[in-house]
Amino acid sequence: MTFSIVARSADGAWWGSAVASRCLAVGRAVPAAKVNVGAVATQAKCNLTYRERGLALLSSGASAEEVVRSLVKDDDQQQYRQLGVVDAMGRASSHTGEDCNGWAGHAVGDGYAIQGNFLSGPGVIAAMERAWLATDESDLLERRMLAALLAGDRAGGDRRGRQSSAILIVTEEGAYEEGASDEYTNLRVDDHHDPVLELIRLSDIRAVHLVQSDGPGAIPLEGDVLGEVAMLLDRIGYPPETSAEDAVIAALEAWAIDEYLSGRFHGDSIDSEVLTVLRNRAGSGSLI
């Protein structure tokens, strides 16, 4: 019922599990990941205990192959299970039970495991692997995994159709909020006519709203840019008190806080992504 990828970044700092399926809310069941431990995807006749038990085994030092072997060996329904695991070192392993709904299979390489069942054919797994290998190792793990997921979807994906998708990415101190969470990305599309594309859209939004920016590449608020920002703010209900720079910046800051964009506010400059959001909110293309 599912196709998925588990992976570790080439620098060994990120782990993730991404999935799509023709079932409701696949993200509630399939993915699991833990920093400096690894990632898991459990699917087909899904055994939810594989997630917690798999991460526990990885935490104890077991390799991905040892985890897969341990989880399925005493499972009296292992012939219906499908499982993908990547460990802290980037070693990966998969299991596809002989009675998983066809087409079913997997592909494993350095740092990744791709698996699927109820697929339109082996081309789905092949397309996912090609897309993964075609991405640059320096790219964000999230982007690489989404590229693989989209390739599998466009190659036929689940032969019954589309419904849901999800991605979980972890890295040390990855959460936007303060506190004991390493979840950099935890996004789900529970019911949608094109869930993988919707997941990518949500990822794009998250990259703007929930990622701090230190300022490089920001556009100075001066000249035509300052005038455009003032006009756009006025259009969406945040009119600057005057056209002076400090008044425009104050109005922009108020809007940025309300839009959850304060992490990309730099006082005398604006991130290009934030300017795009502002233009979109105001129903405008570039005016400069």
**Residue 272: per-residue pLDDT:** 84
**Residue 169: per-residue pLDDT:** 97
Residue 143 identity: R
For the entire predicted model, the pTM comes to 0.86
CATH of the domain at 101: 3.60.20.10
What is the per-residue pLDDT across 62-111, written as a single tens digit (0 to 9) for each?
Answer: 999 999 999 999 899 999 999 999 999 999 999 999 999 989 999 999 99
**Residue 260: per-residue pLDDT:** 82
Of the three residues 156, 180, 209, the one that is the final residue of a domain is: 209
**Residue 288: per-residue pLDDT:** 44
Of the three residues 209, 231, 266, the one that is the final residue of a domain is: 209
In this prediction, the residues of the chain whose per-residue pLDDT falls under 50 are 287-288
**Residue 286: per-residue pLDDT:** 53
**Residue 270: per-residue pLDDT:** 83
Same domain, 75 and 117: yes
DSSP letters, 155-192, are TT-BTT---EEEEEEEETT--SSSSS--EEEEEEE-S-
Q: Domain for residue 152, yes or no?
A: yes
**Residue 273: per-residue pLDDT:** 83
Same domain, 275 and 201: no
Same domain, 154 and 226: no
Same domain, 49 and 140: yes
Same domain, 196 and 273: no
What is the distance between the alpha carbons of residues 78 and 239, in angstroms, rounded to a whole number? 63
In 10 A of CB 239, how many CB atoms? Answer: 14
Helices (H), the chain: 49-59, 64-73, 123-134, 141-154, 195-209, 223-235, 245-258, 272-281
Same domain, 139 and 277: no
Q: Which of 97, 203, 98, 190 is nearest to 150 (CA)?
A: 203
Domain that holds residue 119: 2-209
Q: Domain for residue 230, yes or no?
A: yes
Q: Which of 85, 84, 86, 82 is nearest to 103 (CA)?
A: 82
**Residue 276: per-residue pLDDT:** 87
**Residue 285: per-residue pLDDT:** 60
Same domain, 191 and 64: yes
Same domain, 192 and 262: no
Same domain, 123 and 238: no
